[in-house]
Amino acid sequence: MTAPDLTNPLLAPWGEPHGLPPFAATLPAHYEPALHWAMADHVRELDAIAGRAAPADFSNTVLPFDRAGAMLRRIAMLFQNMVAAETSPALQAVERTVAPLLAGHDASVLQHPGVFARLDALMTRRDGLGLDTQQLRTLERIHLDFCLAGARLDAAGRLRALAIAQHLATLQTQFTQNVLADESAFELELTAADLQGLPDSVRAAAAQAALDRGKQGQWIITLSRSLVVPFLTHSTRRDLRQRAWQAWVRRGQLAPERDNAPVIRQILALRHELARLHGQAHFADFALHDTMARRPQAVMDLLQRAWVPALAKFDRERQALQAFVAEQGGDPDVQPWDWRHWSERMRAARHAIDDALVKPYFSLERMMQAMFDCAHRLFGITFRERQGVALYHADARMFEVHSATDGLIGVFISDNFARQSKRGGAWMNEYRYQSSVDGPVVPIVGNHNNFNKPAPGQPCLLSLDDLRTLFHEFGHGLHGLLSNVTYERLAGTRVLRDFVELPSQLFEHWALEPAVLARHAKHFETGEPIAAALVDKVLAARRFNQGFETIEYLSSALLDQALHCHPGAELGDLDAFERTELDRLGMPQQLAPRHRLPHFLHLFSGPEYAAAYYVYIWAEVLDADAYEAFVEAGDPFAPGVAARLLRSVYAAGNSLEPGAAYRAFRGRDPDIAAMLRKRGLVAA
């Protein structure tokens, strides 16, 4: 094999601090040749494992497989992060070319017959190998990866599974780029007269969005969630709310050339075919095999247990809101583009609180210090910002993460502001996984949000929803940063899909802890701490509108299950399917699913959440019950509880079966009633 081209910064040694990627030196043209070389090198490593004459054991088969492909992983992780966080037309063109190549390579790796034969032999005698807990778990997880990728299929089946993986990667890339293009292209231009009802923070964000698009002195509403949702909440212009809402729910369909409906139909047909290859009736059966739920019926049982009381709660909310609108002289025929506006006005009237009242206390900088402080008090780690390191965008910031006992344990990149080159939503990613088999390898973790960037010299002020998002993604970040396992396959967030949201959703609880707010929530102008009475109002209002919030989420999760449990490969008109399914569920006409199918990135930008969007409420069963352990201890930072949480959840990665990990922390299985109480769906 030829030596790597060391003039390509991706193939040369990465000399940046802590092994950070060479962001500044890397151009879109560098990726394709680097990935080709790294894929070939990975195949060479696999062939060497398969060709060993000695009988298979952990040290000559499992361990080298876990190490293999290190060069490819670091390049591919960088590439995948950049197409999400800082893309460009040139990078998107590369993505369209390499996405199917990477998917095909990944599928072929997990079908390598020689490597699988050795792994399969080890699995048949695993009980007699004298493996420790992590070694056995690593063997089992890698063997299952191979089986799910089709290693047990016949030759024709393996080839077809590989072709499906490649085709899906192409379609998923197209889907994602279509949504991003719609979000970037839409502009609702406002005049000064159109700003009625908008608080100063939303006006400033709209002015900044216009400035970013070269329209100084104007105001623009984009489809960034952190801008369009506040506009829908505060604007008194019903006609403009309707225009913004209709564009928001039609992302992925705003232009005929970017219509995602035919893309979705192809994705679903290929997933159905893949499931049938594996002997499953539909894709949900196949996708849920390696989850805590294991079967679609368990998912549906949970969703229905929440759906029924949520519908009842929403009906009470609807009646109360219609009465309130009538009292205020408005049209009680509340439409979907009206709900956020009027419910916020009712919340302000009933609870004497609104976002405009609390946002001055939630500056991004102070809230980042709050989340760092919570991590320190819970887990004993500190975050130290390092300046002058070349990252991929001026808005990105780097922090070194230190433990009092172990020194540097990770690198954290924080990227908080929306821009046209960044996909919507919020997410955590990793540039490098933690491991220790060859000495300590510290993880490199990134958090990405889409908050509105303030004008120069002004602070970014967060809504309550933004604050929860900040803490949620940081919970994912901690899951990666605190990982303490030996083998990379078990590291950090590489856990079962319906367990991965536990660390993130659990960490949200500290965002509104009174002790945390008293310490960190200070007015951005005066420095005055938030008043205890205002905190009480925030907490009292937490269950307000929860029927709406729960139905909005659950309808998307139920649509996901209906799609992926469909017994046929062809669904026809997706809009009609969506309407029919929502009508069957009794979906109220005053709201839409949180994610309509044409822009449902969780389902169609990749395979991770397909048939698995339920994981958020599954994890909420866990997180609500888990946080009650701190409540029972009488201290949100109870040292003993925090130590168990660190050991069994945040540091354990996939070294423990998730049910066993939860029981090791809580001492028992979770109780669904805690989630229902948290959402106010049953009496506390």
C-beta of residue 560 within 8 angstroms of C-beta of residue 594: no
pLDDT at 24: 96
Closest by Cα among 612, 607, 604, 611 to 177: 604
pLDDT at 543: 86
Q: Is the pLDDT of residue 2 over 90?
A: no
How many CB atoms sit inside 10 A of residue 351's CB? 15
- Residue range 427-444: mean pLDDT, rounded: 96
Element (H, E) at 324: helix 296-327
In this prediction, residue 683 has a pLDDT band, given cuts at 50, 70 and 90, of confident
- Residue range 115-124: mean pLDDT, rounded: 97
Residue with tokens 């994610």: 595
Exposure class string for 121-155: b at 16+ Cβ within 10 A, else e = ebbeebeeeebeebbbbbbbbbbebbbbbbbebee
Assigned token pair, 368 = 């980042």
Rounded distance between C-alpha atoms, residue 472 and residue 99, angstroms: 29
pLDDT at 356: 84
- Residue range 289-318: mean pLDDT, rounded: 95
**What's the length of the chain?**
684
For 435, the 3-state DSSP assignment is strand
In this prediction, residue 354 has a pLDDT band, given cuts at 50, 70 and 90, of confident
DSSP string, 637-671: T-HHHHHHHIIIIITTTTSS-HHHHHHHHHSS---
Q: What percent of the chain has pLDDT over 90?
A: 91
Rounded distance between C-alpha atoms, residue 416 and residue 364, angstroms: 9
pTM over 0.85: yes
pLDDT tens, 538-586? Answer: 998 888 999 999 999 999 999 999 999 988 756 789 999 999 999 999 9
C-beta of residue 511 within 8 angstroms of C-beta of residue 538: no
Instruction: Tell me the pairing of strands 407-417 and 444-451.
Output: parallel
Q: Is the pLDDT of residue 595 over 90?
A: yes
Element (H, E) at 444: strand 444-451
Query: Phi/psi of residue 400, each to 5°?
Result: -85, 140
For 539, the 3-state DSSP assignment is helix
CA distance to 120, 128, 210, 458, per residue, from 125 (Å) = 9, 6, 65, 64
- Residue range 260-276: mean pLDDT, rounded: 96
Rounded distance between C-alpha atoms, residue 41 and residue 411, angstroms: 27
Assigned token pair, 12 = 């040369």
Instruction: Quote the distance between the C-alpha of residue 185 and its chain's center.
Output: 24
Element (H, E) at 448: strand 444-451
Which residues does 459 contact at the CB level (< 8 Å), separation at least 6?
363, 364, 365, 524
Assigned token pair, 117 = 């034969």
Q: Is the pLDDT of residue 684 over 70?
A: no
Return the biggest CA–CA distance within the chain: 84
Rounded distance between C-alpha atoms, residue 514 and residue 518, angstroms: 6
pLDDT at 628: 95
Rounded distance between C-alpha atoms, residue 269 and residue 604, angstroms: 12
Which amino acid is it at 240?
L
Which positions are annotated as active-site residues?
473
- Residue range 326-346: mean pLDDT, rounded: 95
Q: Is the pLDDT of residue 242 over 90?
A: yes
C-beta of residue 50 within 8 angstroms of C-beta of residue 60: no
pLDDT at 292: 94
Rounded distance between C-alpha atoms, residue 202 and residue 193, angstroms: 15
Q: 291-305, 347-361, 414-428, 597-611: which range is least confident on average?
A: 347-361
Instruction: Tell me the pairing of strands 444-451 and 427-432.
Output: antiparallel
All domains of the chain in start order, with CATH: 17-152 (1.20.1050.40), 186-258 (no CATH), 264-351+544-678 (1.10.1370.10), 360-540 (1.10.1370.40)
Rounded distance between C-alpha atoms, residue 386 and residue 372, angstroms: 15
Rounded distance between C-alpha atoms, residue 193 and residue 179, angstroms: 30
Identify the top-confidence range among 375-384, 587-596, 668-677: 375-384
Choice between 523 and 566, residue whose per-residue pLDDT is larger: 523
Closest by Cα among 417, 497, 480, 412 to 452: 417
Q: Angle at the Cα of 250 (from 244 to 252), degrees rounded to 5?
A: 130
Rounded distance between C-alpha atoms, residue 255 and residue 250, angstroms: 10
Rounded distance between C-alpha atoms, residue 226 and residue 418, angstroms: 8
- Paired residues of 220 in beta bridges: 189
Rounded distance between C-alpha atoms, residue 432 and residue 19, angstroms: 9
C-beta of residue 80 within 8 angstroms of C-beta of residue 430: no
How many CB atoms sit inside 10 A of residue 60's CB? 15
Rounded distance between C-alpha atoms, residue 441 and residue 162, angstroms: 32
